[in-house]
Structure 1
Amino acid sequence: MSEWMTSLRLEMGHALKRDKLKKHLVEEFKAQFGLLIEEGKLSDMERQYLRELLAERKRREWVFKKDMSHRRLFQAAKTRRIKVKEGVHICEGLYKAQKLIRITMEMADDRIGDIS
């Protein structure tokens, strides 16, 4: 997965201070989109939207994408498994999106013991 993910620290070789990053972002938004950006306070409507957004993004379902198709991986693991001993199975699940995701799990009593 590290092939497809990066960070500013990784790309630049060092971490940026938050204020400096904010300044660069504002400058680039101005330049790229021709925006006038002024520092100010959030309106009541913006504060309400922010509260709703934060509440949504803190939910377990959103963080772990419980409503996404990864459930199919676990369904496949239930059908594509080899019994090692009573209650212990080695399972494989596949999912193809932009890249192939393949998981191999050791399950003991329907709980994941190890995953790779």
Structure 2
Amino acid sequence: MNGFETITLLGGYILMFSLIFACISDCWPFSPLAKTLLTAPIELTTGLHRIATSDLPWKTKYYSSMILTAFGGFCIMFQTKSVVKNRLSMIPYITAKCLNAAVLFLLLVLSDVI
């Protein structure tokens, strides 16, 4: 029963954040590029799909997808918090996710320069 509750909870977060993503995307008063890049971190799968189907140049799609995958998205952070409960402090976890994305960004920029 615990496994069923966990799967339902995780699926519920995916659904909730996908709905938030859709609402923000439809009501956002900015350009499609801004919508894509600013809403993608909300939910990883939906964000990656939005980046892949956007009119962005190939290199921008690649960089954005890599950085988003390294960051993970806010939905994954909430899912992690719900599963590990009090066994993990969220501030170091979020900081690590942001540092992971920043280091990847630097590596991508450096690989482009070299």
- The higher-RCO structure (CA 8 Å, 6+ apart) is 2
Q: Which has the higher strand share?
A: 1
TM-score range normalised by the length of the shorter chain: under 0.3
Please report the TM-score for the alignment, with normalisation by the length of structure 2. 0.25
Please report the TM-score for the alignment, with normalisation by the length of structure 1. 0.25
